[in-house]
Structure 1
């Protein structure tokens, strides 16, 4: 039996309203190192185009920062002005020529950023980083939200079919969500509503910047695997709120597990929580 007969729904086109994916296969984000390479655009164009040619409907790029504070490391890739769109256009054109679609992952590393000018919700050093972040001021938070929106708008201008907002695995948005890394007592921390505010306002700003006819994916941790991580109820609350914010078709909440500093918690409990969340959604 051929694969299309065995898994007809996976291979069937997916109607998003304003556009259609040729099947339900998504290639998840991975950082290749080519994002910062001298001829990285040409090499990434060939890499992604081959995946599109072989049948992947939607590709998500490696993480691209919305500002200099959010890069994964000093000199890391970012999309902050129109002069950078031509670099990305080589990639999007190559994927489209092979019948695929591609989304840019917007990733702000927060306290994981391997540089001296890193920022985070609270001035808490990550175990995997020798540098301690500066706690963001309220004005800096508002600017960071605007930077996410600008990055999404530039991605659209560069020919991307959508963006993935990186809200999982211990990066900046996840750092706001989790009490373990968010020790603020202002409008951006404390109770669950205030800890989730940054994620929701980033998503609202991105949707406003790109309009309805653009794919938006929010990558959300099902469980954090750290003490004082988000509970199942908190994650369900956020997923529901995100769906309401995005409203239009062509949206998705991708469920991921863990953080780069995840501790060894009971695996059976973690699997049970992840399963319960997936079924609830």
Structure 2
């Protein structure tokens, strides 16, 4: 399988890439994240697990600037994402790619243009170069024969693989994955997870993943964080978390999902 080009170089080539310091996020009277502290190192794959409503997806939304925290700071690649001015936010966002639960492809664009649109319009990449990058990525996700199709001509699993290729086309430093198989029929889940496993193994991209697919989390993670009520209650390598969890809430959660 052909590997995609390496992600763009980072101001922090090694060490910490993402840091949350005392981040609080509320929706009305409900506190979703409660003075959260956590970090992700460059090139590592970190998976967030825990019950629904524990704040996992909110973390990804904050990194994508789809929401703003009430308190605390968020730093990416040594630059402050919150608080920051709009220009700095836009520059940092170029280094962050996200794959959502829903595929969010442009229905009026064929597969190839869905992938090339952002590199051309946002990064200013020449069209020929963007198309070659898109072809390489379609090869990576096993869809090189589908570049001239519209999204409604693809299965859900194929659309999600296009969405993964589209996120990678920006050569982000970090790839955010938000329950990317939750909208798929069960028989399509394995193919999408296999693509993500290949990306995790064949690139040095930093990955921050929210998933209820525990076997997948065990396979790809360098570190697993267990969330409950807006806090990290346990963290460690996948073998420790999945075989010898220390916190009773972690044991309770895993017994329900494994």
TM-score (normalizing by structure 1): 0.35
The structure with the greater share of residues assigned to helix is 1
Q: For CA contacts below 8 A with separation 6 or more, give which structure has more relative contact order.
A: 2
The structure with the greater share of residues assigned to strand is 2
